[in-house]
Amino acid sequence: MTILIQGGEVVTDSERYHADILCEGETIARIGQHLTAPAGAEIIDARGCHVFPGFIDPHVHIHLPFMGTHAKDTYESASRAAVLGGTTTLIEMCCPARDDDPVEAFEVWMSKAVGHSICDFSFHMGVTRFDETTPAALTSIVRRGISSFKVFLAYKGAFGVDDAELYRTLQLAKSLGVIVTAHCENETLVSERSRELLAAGKCDPAHHHESRPPQVEAEGVNHLMTFAELTGCATYIVHLSCAEALERALAARKRGVRVTIETLIQYLVLDKQDAERGGFEGAKFVMSPPLRDVRNQEVLWRALAAGDIDTVATDHAPFDFATQKSMGASDFTKIPNGIPSLQERVSLLYTHGVLPGRITLHDLVRIASTTVAQTFGLYPRKGAIAVGSDADLVIFDPAARSTISAATHAMNVDYSAFEGWERCGCARDVLVRGTRVVRDGTCTDRVGLVGHVGHGQFIARTPSHF
Ligand code: URP
Ligand code: ZN
Ligand code: ZN
């Protein structure tokens, strides 16, 4: 298929210019002024629009057995939401239970995705146990195209690893050139504080954040940084939420620890008062680390603009309010953690970041696409607009306006944390490897979805973090 995108403003992490883009097959063939359309080419009129490299979400959960239930999306529903929101590649967490065989788990996660996705995808391989069989198993998974691991310092007894396991995972990763992504919270503090709160009758969602205050996350970050320093392993802190944790991560970076930092769109636009809403409404906003005091939002935005925080993800983890969040009606520790947002990341970054001047358009591309690609071995195939790169492109209409609602979103979940919010800008047309998957999209419902399930491919990655 040949597609000519005419008259748009190309925006990358460092450049901004008007040009036409010719896509032939799966890649970008030419970029230039007034390109002539080859016979039979499809033409997309991009005048008045930005043309961005496809956005990449580095932290997504789709198949997620967690807290006694399963996250609601399938690859079909999640990838539909992704492309409608401008995300053309996602990296899912493969999260085996502690007793699961890692290779078998990897096969399960692959089987859920291959042939079922509209967008491209890869996985961070969760390391939830480390014994004498683990190095061979993980090495074989790396050979199959996985170049990042995931560890949880929280969720002891489920996904969490102990310190010996953490140390060995980082040593192995360093030797393989793999980067280790980590959920940083001190699990002992979480369980002690949860026990105290429940014993005091503080059982509703509003108390969840008290069980894991900023110090708990800062301690987790510091813990990981100590292990990273001693092993020399490249690390990536997922879902950093607050000033205290950021301070520890930046102090470590300053002394040479190899660390990349991710925050989430939720922490940038929601705050702990949302989780304190009465009548169990707050359960919609329960995630870990929790939503923080609103003062943290500006700290995070400034750190993004300054390049101190590197990426913005969603940690998309959809659990229905009516039937799943309700499992914690009398005990906040039983509320499945997560706030679905895969579809909303780019437009919320644009509306609340770019338009008020907190970040630039280049920052948007950098934190939601290019740096993700560079960190996780996808660049320059992804995250770039360049001849030879995959034709993953988002034609973004900055004049579009829409209202976010669970009634019209494409995610398979019965609520939206952003219900009724006005949103500016929209991924009007989206290409994944040269195939148009959204045509005249409006950011709402499934309007414009033309991509086929199965078009999305597993993207093999090669380790580079030696
Ligand atoms: O609350 C969260 N973050 N849910 C998803 C699982 C995780 O910790 O990433
Ligand atoms: Zn996590
Ligand atoms: Zn997660």
Nearest CA to ligand 1 atom 8: 288
Bridge pairing between strands 69-70 and 55-60: unpaired
Say yes or no: CB of residue 5 within 6 Å of ligand 1.
no
What is the span of the domain harbouring residue 135?
53-375
Q: What pLDDT score was predicted for residue 443?
A: 78
Say yes or no: CB of residue 291 within 6 Å of ligand 1.
no
Q: Facing residues of 60 across strands? A: 92, 316
Report the atom number in ligand 1 closest to the C-alpha of 337: 1
Distance 288 CA to ligand 2 centre (A): 6
Task: Give yes or no for a contact between 395 and 48, defined as CB atoms under 8 angstroms apart.
Answer: no
Low-confidence spans in the chain with pLDDT less than 50: none
Q: Is there a domain that residue 65 lies in? A: yes
Q: Is there a domain that residue 331 lies in? A: yes
Q: Is there a domain that residue 437 lies in? A: no
Please tell me the pTM assigned to this model. 0.98
Nearest CA to ligand 1 atom 5: 338
Task: Give yes or no for a contact between 123 and 94, defined as CB atoms under 8 angstroms apart.
Answer: yes
Say yes or no: CB of residue 288 within 6 Å of ligand 1.
yes
Q: Is there a domain that residue 104 lies in? A: yes
Q: Is there a domain that residue 8 lies in? A: no
One-letter amino acid identity for 318?
P
Report the atom number in ligand 1 closest to the C-alpha of 286: 1
Q: Is there a domain that residue 443 lies in? A: no
Distance 22 CA to ligand 3 centre (A): 37
Look-up: residue for tokens 């953690």? Answer: 337
Say yes or no: CB of residue 58 within 6 Å of ligand 1.
no
Nearest CA to ligand 1 atom 3: 288
Q: CB 331: neighbour CB atoms within 10 A?
A: 13
Q: Is there a domain that residue 445 lies in? A: no
Distance 302 CA to ligand 3 centre (A): 23
Domains in the chain: how many in total? 1
Q: What pLDDT score was predicted for residue 444?
A: 73
Question: Nearest-5° angle of CA 83, CA 87, CA 91?
Answer: 115
8-state DSSP, 420:
T
8-state DSSP, 178:
-
What is the Cα–Cα distance from 143 to 106, expressed in whole angstroms?
12
Distances (CA, A) of 174 to 113, 144, 231, 257, 404: 28, 18, 7, 13, 42
Number of Cα atoms under 13 Å in the Cβ half of residue 315: 27
Distance 60 CA to ligand 3 centre (A): 6
Report the atom number in ligand 1 closest to the C-alpha of 154: 8
Give the residue among 155, 159, 163 at the shortest CA–CA distance from 194.
155
**In the chain, what is the straight-line distance between the N-terminal and C-terminal CA atoms, in Å?**
39
Say yes or no: CB of residue 338 within 6 Å of ligand 1.
yes
Say yes or no: CB of residue 297 within 6 Å of ligand 1.
no
Q: What pLDDT score was predicted for residue 400?
A: 96
Q: What pLDDT score was predicted for residue 133?
A: 98
Distance 71 CA to ligand 1 centre (A): 11
Give the CATH number for residue 89. Answer: 3.20.20.140
- Render pLDDT for 53-74 as a digit per residue (tens, 0 to 9): 999 999 999 999 999 999 999 9
Distance 14 CA to ligand 2 centre (A): 31
Residue of 216, 237, 315, 324 to test ligand 1 pocket, by largest number of atoms within 8 Å of CB: 315
Question: Nearest-5° angle of CA 110, CA 113, CA 114?
Answer: 80
Distance 315 CA to ligand 3 centre (A): 5
> Which DSSP string corresponds to 343-377?
TTHHHHHIIIIITTTSS-HHHHHIIIIIHHHHHTT
Nearest CA to ligand 1 atom 9: 315
Say yes or no: CB of residue 317 within 6 Å of ligand 1.
yes
